Amino acid sequence: MGSLAARRCLLVILGLGLALAPASCGRGPGNRKATYPVTGEVYVDGKPAALLAVYCVDLRGIDEKNPTRSAAFTDDAGKFAISTYLSADGVPEGEYVLTFLWGQHNLITASYGGPDKLKSRYTDSKQSKVRFTVVKGKPTNLGRIDLTTK
């Protein structure tokens, strides 16, 4: 893995991408959906998974009028806080599943990807066992999520 400074740089770049993506689609702050905090931690083979991508998939499908994309990256302790518009602002009310990708970051291209250390075992939202409901006005703590490379 890279240095702490490199990870912070990547998280800032990705956070800006999440924050700017809705604005670039012609939506101003007045069109934002209310979001509620969603947190958790990911362990792989019994150890905290650092810099693992966590994607939140809405079971209702994409909202055509006000589409959102909610995601996070785990920190060194495997903890995450999902972002939709701003860093760690949470997720709109609804039912969701999580998918996971454990790739690598490339500081030169500011991209994340490459071979999935989880062997694509957790990238299919239809097969995901991590399901949850976000209730208006309430934070959601998903606790510890255990994944495996085997």
Q: Which two structure tokens, joined as six digits, stand for 66?
A: 């006000």
Quick check: 52 and 101 in contact, CB under 8 A?
A: yes
Please tell me the distance from the alpha carbon of residue 64 to that of residue 134, in angstroms, as a whole number.
Answer: 20
Residue numbers of the domain that contains 106:
4-147
Is a pLDDT exceeding 80 seen at residue 17?
no
Residues 6+ away with beta carbon under 8 Å from 94: 58, 59, 60, 133, 134
Other CB atoms within 10 Å distance of the CB of residue 138: 10
Please tell me the distance from the alpha carbon of residue 145 to that of residue 57, in angstroms, as a whole number.
Answer: 16
pLDDT in tens, 85-131: 999 999 999 999 999 999 998 889 999 998 999 999 999 999 999 99
When divided into structural domains, the chain yields a total of 1
Q: How far apart, in Å, are the Cα atoms of 120 and each of 41, 86, 132?
A: 19, 28, 21
Going by C-alpha positions, the residue among 102, 94, 104, 87 that lies closest to residue 145 is 102
Q: Which CATH number is 20's domain given? A: 2.60.40.10
- Which position has the higher pLDDT, 73 or 11? 73
